[in-house]
Amino acid sequence: MSAPPLVAQGLGKRFRRRDWALRDLMLTIPKGGIVGLAGPNAAGKSTLLSLAAGLLAPSEGSIEVFGRNPLQAPEVLAEVGYVAQGAPLYRSFRVADTLEYARRTNPRWDTEIAIELLTHIDSRAKVGALSAGERARLALALALGKRPRLVLLDEPFASLDPLAGRELLQLLMDGVAELGATVIVASHVVADIQRVCDHIVLLSSGCVRLEGDVEELLDSHRLLTGPRRPLGSIRGVREIVRERYSGRQQTLLAITDGPIADPSWTVDPVSLEELLLAYMAPERLPTPRRAEGIPLRWHG
């Protein structure tokens, strides 16, 4: 029971002769909370979730869900609520049939949880006739009705308007709070997840670029604005992630390890979106190294 929800070790996945979708991934998702899996399109987010759901086999390395390989020990999937991108379901089934399917195939199934998420959806409606928002809700209800210990959501908001997205997010939050499950939400739109994530994993080109607790990440990063000048070492700055110039001004996104004493710098907090975009940019990647005492890991 003490095994973490998800552990990837040297995980790599390659499709046929194409490039690596994931390469040499080291990742441990701690128990509890909501993990945002961010990254641009084709970063390997869906591949990672498919591997965790036992739909794919790793090309190299290993992935474990609660200490078990989801392909070798598929019974672990009874504890995983996975919603694939686009929420594929049987279109000819009625909503009630779909719930019945889940009830018959999941030992821990709880219809009450699912029904709660399906208010205002007619159980006799055909799945094919539901709106995108309703279908996403049904898929979420199916995932949470399993009383999972790990929930994997692949771009759940992709086809939803902002209102429906917000509603779905609220349902997710409520459901998860009740279950005490760990949730991994993959999304390429940072705004979707930044409101709710406790922990963030940024994937880009099949590698983890940044991983850490959201608050700690925001605490340790600052935006420094000041007149343009050659950069020496700045007291309180451990590493500069990104430099940007506009006219005579320059803006630095920096990892700080103390207060910035120099009064010529204006110091501002950074938003999660800005932070993630800075780390996504391939041209300004920090040199891979691990800092002592800072709960933040880079894999460049």
Partner 1 sequence: MAWVTWRQHRAHAFGALGLLVALAVAAVLTHLPIASAFGHDSLSACLPSAPRTGCDIIVPHFESEFSGLVTATRVMAVLPLLAGLFVGAPLIARELEFGTYRFAWTQGVSRRHWLLSKTALLAVGTLVAAGAASLLVMWWRSPFDQLEGRIGPSGFDIEGIVVPAYALFALALGVLAGLVFRRTVAAMTATLVAFGATRALVADFVRPHFVAPLHRVIAAPSTSAVPGDWVLSNTLVNAGGQRVTAGNEELAVLHAQQAGIDPHTYILTLGWKRIVSYQPAGRFWTFQLFEAGLFVALAVALILVTLWLVRRTPV
Binding residues for partner 1, rule: CB under 8 A, are 15, 50, 53-57, 71, 74-75, 77-78, 80, 82, 84, 86, 88-91, 93, 97, 100-102, 104-109, 142, 146
The DSSP line for 152-183 is: EEESTTTTS-HHHHHHHHHHHHHHHHHHT-EE
* Residue 166 tokens, joined: 């917000």
Considering the complex, what minimum distance in angstroms separates the CB of residue 232 from partner 1? Answer: 52
Nearer to partner 1, 79 or 211 (CB): 79
Q: Which is nearer to partner 1, 15 or 19 (CB)?
A: 15
Strand partners, 6: 29
**Amino acid type, 23:** R
Q: Which is nearer to partner 1, 88 or 295 (CB)?
A: 88
Q: Among residues 112 and 283, whose Cβ is nearest to partner 1? A: 112
Least distance to partner 1, CB of residue 5, Å: 15
- Answer whether 156's CB lies under 8 Å from 188's CB: no
- Residue 42 or 78 with smaller CB distance to partner 1: 78
Look-up of token digits 């499950």: 181
CB of 185 to partner 1, least distance (A): 16
Taking the C-alpha atoms of residue 27 and residue 223, their distance in angstroms, rounded to an integer, is: 28
Nearest-approach distance from CB 47 to partner 1, in angstroms = 11
Using alpha carbons, select from 207, 173, 198 the residue that is nearest to residue 34: 198
Longest dimension (CA), the chain: 68
Name the amino acid, one letter, at 74.
P
Closest distance to partner 1 from the beta carbon of 7 (Å): 19
